[in-house]
Structure 1
Amino acid sequence: MASPAEDYAARGTRVAYDVDRLCASIGNVVQGKPDVVRNVVLCLLAEGHLLLEDVPGTGKTSLARALASSIALSWHRIQFTPDLLPSDVTGVSIYNQSSREFEFKKGPIFANVVLADEINRASPKTQSALLEVMEEATLSTDGQVYELAKPFMVVATQNPIDMEGTYVLPEAQLDRFLMKLSVGYPSAESEAEILRAQKMGPTISHLQPVMSDADVAAMIEEVRSVEVAPALEQYIVAIAAHTRTMSELRLGVSPRGSLGLLRASRAAAAAEGRTYVTPEDVQDMAPVTLAHRLILQPDAQLQGRTADEMINRALQSVPVPRSVPA
Structure 2
Amino acid sequence: MSSAEKSNLHGDRPAAASKQGMEDHKELATFAFQRTRMPIVVADAREPDYPMVLANDAFLDLTGYSADEVLGNNCRMLQGEHTSRTAVAGIRAIIAEEREGTVEILNYRKDGSPFWNQLHLSPIREDDGTLAYYFASQIDVTELRKVQTLEEAEHRLLLEVDHRTKNVLAIVDSIVRLTRADNVAAYAASVQQRVQALSRTHMLLAENGWQEASLREIVALQVSVFGEQNVEIDGPSIMIPAPSVQPIGLAIHELAANAAVHGSLSRRGGALAISWRREGDGIFLEWNETGGDGRQVAERTGFGNVLLGAVLERQLGGKITREWKEDGMSLSVELPSLDRVGRELKSNP
TM-score (norm 1): 0.29
TM-score (norm 2): 0.27
Which structure is higher in RCO with an 8 Å CA cutoff and minimum separation 6? 1
Normalized per residue, the structure richer in strand is 2
Rg (Cα) greater in structure:
2
